[in-house]
Amino acid sequence: MNAERRPLALYPGCSLLSTGVMYRLSVHETLRALGIPVRELADWNCCGATSAHYLDAGLALLLPARNLALAEAQGVDILTACAACHHHLARAHHALAHSESLGRSVEEHGIDYRGDVRVQHVLTLLDDAGLAARVRRPLTGLRVACYYGCLLVRIPRAGGIDDPDAPSVMERVLRACGADVVAWQAGTWCCGAGLAVAEPDVAQGLMADILAEAHRVGADCIAAVCPLCQLNLDLHQAAIALHRGFRRMLPVVFVTQLTALALGADPRRLGFDRHLVDALPVLAAVEVVAGGRR
């Protein structure tokens, strides 16, 4: 693989254009504030998500392989935000780099990939961006629980971004923004993912455990990097709170909404109005709206 760093192209994936649009908005606002140029990958397709990987192993490789080939042809490296997209793209890159037979199989479908693309998650980019010196609106006093979910860190050989058992990159990023990052045990617990539709009682039980742990440590909000995790915890929280007797609701925001806030972005451009659980307490905590704590 070519060690030379190339321009970055954001691979948004499907969720960032729908339920997770606030993630996409805040990634662009964060990078704009840091002066990091990034465009979006042209002509990208779905990474396969859960469906392809459950139904057809060949298709599960071809879909991300096509995106890797597109990036290679466009002379860019891929920047990911969605945890699942990163997982599938990184696994495909690793598989193709270590198997000539798989490489030949994708070539038979018209996909020419030579392994010359780096797949980087936005968290690792921000971890190396010198955030602390660029902060204009410190998140001082905001108690944040960092939630990775299952997929982002659990591919160590194929592109996991951190220690799969005790990740800390999101904590470093948010501490650089001035946040009070809480220590908790649920950072890599499963939210139930697609079981929220197929087996809602099972999934809500898993989500309830995550929320209970966040309440236990006194978090003001949960920061997420997976659009499905964020949606599940946001969408189902009211029902869970009623069942479990939680006295308050916890905003579940994307990590880049917090970094963009800290870097001085206009909160109206970050999609806070799209959350089901009111995110205004997060803004109030950093004195973006009336009622701040300091």
- pLDDT, tens digit, 9 for 90 and up, residues 79-88: 999 999 999 9
- What mean pLDDT is predicted for residues 161-175? 94
Question: Which residues are within 8 A (CB) of 173 and not within 5 positions of it... i.e. 6 or more apart?
Answer: 123, 126, 127, 131, 255, 259
d(CA 237, CA 64): 32
Is 72 a residue whose pLDDT tops 60?
Answer: yes
Domains in the chain: ranges and CATH: 8-123 (1.20.1050.140), 135-285 (3.40.50.11810)
Task: Share the mean pLDDT of the chain.
Answer: 92
Rounded CA-CA distance 67/201 in Å is: 36
CA-based nearest residue to 219, from 210, 208, 227: 210
14, two tokens: 């499907």
> pLDDT at position 294, please?
36
Tens of pLDDT along 246-292? 989 999 999 999 999 999 999 999 999 999 999 988 888 878 665 54
Whether pLDDT at 160 is above 80: no
Cβ-proximal residues to 282 (8 Å cutoff; 6+ apart), any chain: 142, 220, 221, 251, 253, 258, 261, 272
Q: Which of 259, 256, 178 is nearest to 224 (CA)?
A: 256
Which amino acid type is present at position 231? L
Q: What percent of the chain has pLDDT over 70?
A: 95
